């Protein structure tokens, strides 16, 4: 059965189809000149090879087939692509295929490129960058997502500056995707039981180099009209439709994995939207192995990784018990096959408070179903431990099992042509297909002339693109030819260019600069040191306050004296994001701390020599030093209003007194030497450190490989290790109420406190627990945790032993307490069993 494709290519041009359907062209631009040669106007309008091929006339195709130079270039590109696909990549060369059989990455959205518009914001762009990096590094990975028939909205701004939304249809025939094939060669379909009917999902696949992205599609004629809309729009507001989308992503998504990559060891959840996968994965192993559901759950949990991106508890998806009960049929297979009561299964999504009305929390389900959970920055790790503490009662907040891997960006996607040439000359063409360890010294050797030429090219391209975009938008709104023509005069390619683009919502404080419009206006129009602002961003359709903030910026930009200096560019998308990060001198970010989990937009300017001026939040909190950029705010306890006033003033102070003076401090050759030194330091130190190469290497070495090793151990020998863990868990839960800690004896000897205490274990084995001395942290230091050694049995006690430990007497004895926690080889405590007992 052939792939669906309306493109009929002449002999000799068949390779065009493979080149156009491989989204590697979104970051490898070696074929751009070929697409431009086919049809320059369509290419410049769409930058989409698949659309271009479908629009081209047969006569033009025949002419190209007869052109020996075109044919030779096509063969060269086809060979280069084949070489890329067949190369084992960094991962294969470093670890070999046996180290990791496969990763399945689950995300509600993917931002691979505008040709496949399946994203709303940063979460999707990160997912797209992840897949691209997995391809470049050769990590055996597939992506699982949804094919939205409309996706997220497109933005239009009316004459009054108000945002309006439209939802263009995504015609699968016009997207660079093809049907996924099942074992029989037919189109892969996945069933999902729903109340009173079975939803039949079609599966498509998109190629991103070495990686395939599988997309579930409910818009199937065999489904009811209402069910066809389940994969209609991204992030629908209604709880019922959102739950349906998450059932599809998690349960049907894992069934796709079972069909196309059954040897997959790692299941990586990009946020909690796909959390139902932890249940379905266990069910599938339970069916194959004949073990109980909970034994299978212990086995599969070892291979599940959960990344949380949410900085506030209110951001997690929650569903009422009544709604969950309505759609419980999607989980009936587990209930029928294992006899696990539905209430017991759904308790995985509850905090365990005993509140019968507690909603079902998808992040809680993901957390309980993954042996390893991570936040997306160092500061977000601290925030996440506080958020997830209800799942680990009586455990110290610092020991809530959330680590962090700071996000990164796929550098080849975001670098400008001039930056790419500069980096290639300094570091080679393969620099982003390996570990980025050696790049710091290489890029630090660039000359000031080279850096300044790159920045000039980027700024000039941004100004040209902004003028064209603004003219197009003004013409579409019916403005006069004179007004449209005036768009060609906005901005100046030679002055300080500030960029600001994000979702317009209150916590991101996008209007912080507008708290003092008079001062901002003077900064922009300063005759000696002028500056200009390029702004973009969308507000959620239901966020009226966000729309008002956009309107405020547009009103500010329309003042006659500011029109040459301030531009708001509507319909922020990946193309516009690329233009902005490639051209701005300074990227501004103003979130309300600590609500920015990571924030990756500022990372994208690094490769292009852009600098960051940001609140100390998310990634910037760990990346900032005074030689690479500028920082606003700190970790004080001011209320929001006071902090906003202070940060707004500080932002303008830095722009007026530090940024602009340094940018315009030129030597006799016209170069801003101090500015260029700052660029060099930022580019060399931060670009590799905040690349997705570093991020994915962290995933591999800190998460994937250890998790895959433990998963293999647990499923080996008919899941013997996992069965032992489940038995151990049951013993501990039954026997935990009878464990108690006796009165400790404490003496001071030779500068040490020596603790000794009886611990009564009841029915629990001595090797199934650990005893520790614990003291709270002092200041910013870590907590003190000292293992206690088991000694002789307690005389007259049943299964009771004396435990002892010594600690330097630098702190009062009252600081220390004794605790008992579970211990079992290979088990991640407290992530997989949160029991703990403290000395009374």
DSSP annotation string for 266-278: EEEEESGGGTTHH
- pLDDT per residue as tens digits for the range 219-245: 999 999 999 999 999 987 789 999 999
Where do the structural domains in the chain lie, given as residue ranges?
A: 15-86, 89-407+700-718, 426-689, 739-838
Place of tokens 């489940």: 726
Q: Count Cβ atoms within 10 A of the Cβ of residue 714 and give its class: 0-12 exposed, 13-18 middle, 19 or more buried.
A: buried
Tokens of 584: 């701005």
- pLDDT per residue as tens digits for the range 74-94: 999 999 999 999 999 999 999
Tally: H helices and E strands in the chain: 33, 31
Q: State how far the Cα of 538 lies from the Cα of 551, in Å rounded to an integer.
A: 11
- pLDDT per residue as tens digits for the range 645-701: 999 999 999 999 999 999 999 999 999 999 999 999 999 999 999 999 999 999 999
- pLDDT per residue as tens digits for the range 31-82: 999 999 999 999 988 999 999 999 899 999 999 999 999 999 999 999 999 9
pLDDT over 70 (residue 314)? yes
pLDDT bracket for residue 381 (50, 70, 90): very high
pLDDT bracket for residue 1 (50, 70, 90): very low
**pTM for the model:** 0.96
CATH architecture designation of domain 89-407+700-718: 3-Layer(aba) Sandwich (3.40)
3-state secondary structure of 230: coil
3-state secondary structure of 79: helix
Is residue 65 within 8 A of residue 73, CB to CB? The reply is: no
Domains 89-407+700-718 and 426-689 share a fold: yes
Q: State how far the Cα of 719 lies from the Cα of 712, in Å rounded to an integer.
A: 9
Q: State how far the Cα of 409 lies from the Cα of 127, in Å rounded to an integer.
A: 10
pLDDT over 80 (residue 740)? yes
- pLDDT per residue as tens digits for the range 540-599: 999 999 999 999 999 999 999 999 999 999 999 999 999 999 999 999 999 998 889 999
SS3 for 406-423 is CCCECHHHHCCHHHHHHH
Output the furthest CA–CA distance in the chain (Å, rounded): 99
pLDDT (0 to 100) of residue 635: 62
CATH class of 426-689: alpha beta
Strands (E), 108-153: 110-113, 116-118, 141-146
Percent of the chain scoring above 70 in pLDDT:
98
CATH class of 739-838: mainly beta
pLDDT (0 to 100) of residue 5: 54
């Amino acid at each position: 059965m052939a792939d669906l494709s309306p493109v009929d290519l002449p002999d000799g041009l068949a390779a065009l189809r493979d080149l156009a359907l491989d989204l590697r062209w979104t970051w490898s631009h070696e074929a751009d000149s070929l697409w431009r040669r086919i049809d320059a106007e369509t290419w410049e309008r769409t930058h989409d090879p698949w659309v271009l091929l479908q629009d081209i006339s047969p006569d033009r195709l025949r002419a190209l087939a007869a052109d020996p130079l075109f044919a030779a270039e096509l063969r060269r590109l086809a060979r280069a692509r084949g070489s890329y696909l067949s190369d084992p990549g960094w991962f294969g060369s470093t670890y070999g295929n046996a180290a990791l059989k496969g990763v399945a990455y689950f995300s509600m959205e993917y931002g691979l490129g505008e040709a496949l518009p399946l994203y709303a914001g940063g979460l999707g762009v990160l997912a797209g960058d992840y897949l691209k990096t997995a391809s470049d590094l050769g990590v055996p990975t597939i992506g699982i997502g949804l094919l939205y028939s409309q996706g997220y909205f497109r933005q239009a701004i009316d004459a009054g500056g108000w945002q309006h939304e439209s939802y263009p249809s995504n015609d699968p025939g016009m997207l660079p995707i093809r049907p996924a094939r099942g074992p029989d060669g037919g189109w892969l379909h996945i069933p999902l039981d729903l109340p009173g009917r079975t939803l039949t999902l079609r599966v498509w696949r998109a190629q991103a180099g070495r990686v395939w992205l599988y997309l579930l599609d409910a818009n199937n004629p065999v489904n009811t009209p209402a069910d066809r809309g389940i994969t209609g729009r991204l992030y629908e507001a209604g709880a019922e439709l959102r739950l349906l989308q998450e059932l599809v992503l998690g349960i049907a998504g894992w069934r796709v994995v079972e069909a196309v990559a059954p040897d997959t060891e790692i299941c990586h959840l990009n946020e909690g939207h796909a959390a139902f996968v932890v249940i379905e994965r266990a069910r599938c192993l339970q069916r194959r192995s004949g073990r109980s559901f909970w034994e299978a759950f212990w086995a599969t949990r070892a291979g599940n990784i959960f990344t949380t991106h949410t900085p506030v508890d209110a951001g997690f998806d929650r569903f009422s018990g009544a709604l969950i009960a309505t759609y419980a049929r999607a989980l009936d297979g587990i209930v029928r096959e294992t006899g696990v009561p539905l209430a017991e299964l759904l308790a995985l999504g509850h905090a365990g408070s005993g509140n019968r009305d507690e909603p079902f929390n998808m992040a809680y389900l993901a957390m309980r179903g993954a042996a390893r959970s991570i936040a997306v920055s160092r500061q977000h790790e601290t925030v996440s431990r506080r958020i997830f503490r209800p799942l680990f009662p009586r455990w110290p907040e610092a020991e809530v099992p959330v680590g962090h891997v700071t996000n990164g960006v796929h550098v080849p996607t975001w670098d400008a042509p001039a930056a790419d040439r500069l980096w290639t000359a300094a570091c080679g063409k393969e620099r982003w297909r390996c570990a980025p360890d050696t790049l710091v010294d290489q890029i630090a050797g660039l000359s000031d002339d080279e850096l300044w030429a790159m920045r000039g090219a980027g700024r000039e391209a941004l100004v040209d693109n902004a003028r064209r975009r603004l003219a197009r938008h003004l013409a579409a709104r019916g403005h006069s030819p004179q007004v449209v023509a005036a768009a060609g005069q906005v901005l100046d390619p030679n002055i300080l260019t500030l960029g600001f683009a994000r979702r317009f919502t209150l916590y991101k404080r996008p209007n912080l600069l507008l708290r003092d419009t008079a001062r901002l206006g003077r900064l922009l129009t300063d005759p000696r040191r002028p500056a200009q602002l390029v702004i973009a961003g969308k507000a959620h359709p239901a966020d009226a306050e966000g729309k008002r903030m956009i309107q405020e910026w547009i009103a500010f930009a329309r003042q006659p004296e500011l029109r040459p200096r301030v531009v708001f560019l509507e319909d922020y998308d990946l193309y516009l994001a690329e233009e902005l990060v490639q051209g701005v001198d300074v990227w501004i970010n103003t979130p309300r701390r600590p609500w920015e989990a990571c924030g990756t937009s500022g990372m994208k300017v690094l490769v292009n020599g852009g600098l960051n001026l940001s609140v100390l939040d998310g990634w910037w909190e760990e990346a900032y030093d005074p030689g690479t950029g500028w920082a606003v705010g700190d970790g004080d306890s001011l209320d929001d209003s006071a902090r906003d006033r202070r940060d707004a003033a500080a932002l303008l102070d830095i722009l007026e007194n530090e940024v602009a003076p340094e940018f315009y401090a030129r030597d006799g050759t016209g170069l801003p030497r101090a500015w260029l030194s700052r660029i060099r330091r930022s580019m060399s130190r931060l670009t590799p450190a905040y690349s997705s190469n570093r991020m994915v290497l962290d995933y591999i070495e800190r998460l994937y490989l250890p998790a895959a090793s433990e998963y293999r151990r647990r499923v080996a020998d008919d899941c013997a290790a996992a069965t032992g863990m489940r038995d151990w868990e049951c013993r501990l839960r039954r026997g935990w109420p009878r464990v108690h800690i006796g009165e400790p004896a404490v003496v001071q000897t030779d500068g040490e406190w020596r603790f000794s205490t009886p611990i009564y274990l009841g029915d629990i084995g001595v090797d199934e627990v650990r005893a520790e001395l614990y003291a709270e942290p002092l200041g910013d230091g870590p907590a003190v945790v000292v293992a206690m050694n088991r000694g002789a049995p307690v005389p007259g006690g049943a299964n009771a032993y004396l435990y002892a430990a010594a600690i330097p007497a630098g702190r009062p004895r009252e600081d220390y307490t004794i605790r008992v926690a579970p211990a079992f080889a290979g088990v991640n405590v407290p992530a997989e069993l949160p029991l703990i007992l403290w000395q009374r």
